[in-house]
């Protein structure tokens, strides 16, 4: 059983893969969040500290949308790992 807020989309055909991609894009745009962002999840769950998260961000090209998103997570107010 999937938890509330979860979605399962079969991507066994090119058509269903495109449908899934459009779904992910729409959800991310509506919520201003990334889905299944491993760097964010490990940071928020305390598996990596702020210093390691910063190092992880540096792996992405400056100016890329993904890096900007991760930097926004780093710069949020609220408790973070030290």
pLDDT at 29 over 80: yes
- Give the DSSP H or E segment for 14: helix 14-31
Is 73 contained in some domain?
yes
pLDDT bin (cut points 50, 70, 90) of residue 9 is: confident
Is 69 a domain residue? Answer: yes
Q: Is residue 10 part of a domain?
A: no
Residue 5 lies in a domain: no
| pLDDT, average across residues 19-40 | 94
pTM of the model: 0.74
50-69 mean pLDDT: 96
- Residues 30-47 have pLDDT tens digits of 999 999 899 999 999 999
- Domain limits for position 51: 34-82
Does 79 reside within a domain? Answer: yes
Domain total in the chain: 1
Per the domain annotation, does 72 fall within a domain? Answer: yes
In a domain, 77, yes or no: yes
């Amino acid at each position: 059983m999937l938890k509330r807020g979860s979605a399962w989309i079969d991507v066994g055909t090119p058509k269903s893969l495109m449908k899934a991609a459009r779904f992910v894009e729409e959800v991310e745009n509506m919520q201003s969040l990334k889905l299944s962002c491993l760097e964010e999840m490990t940071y928020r769950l305390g598996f990596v500290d702020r210093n390691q998260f910063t190092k992880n961000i540096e792996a992405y090209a400056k100016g890329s949308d993904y890096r900007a998103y991760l930097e926004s997570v780093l710069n949020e107010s609220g408790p973070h790992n030290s």
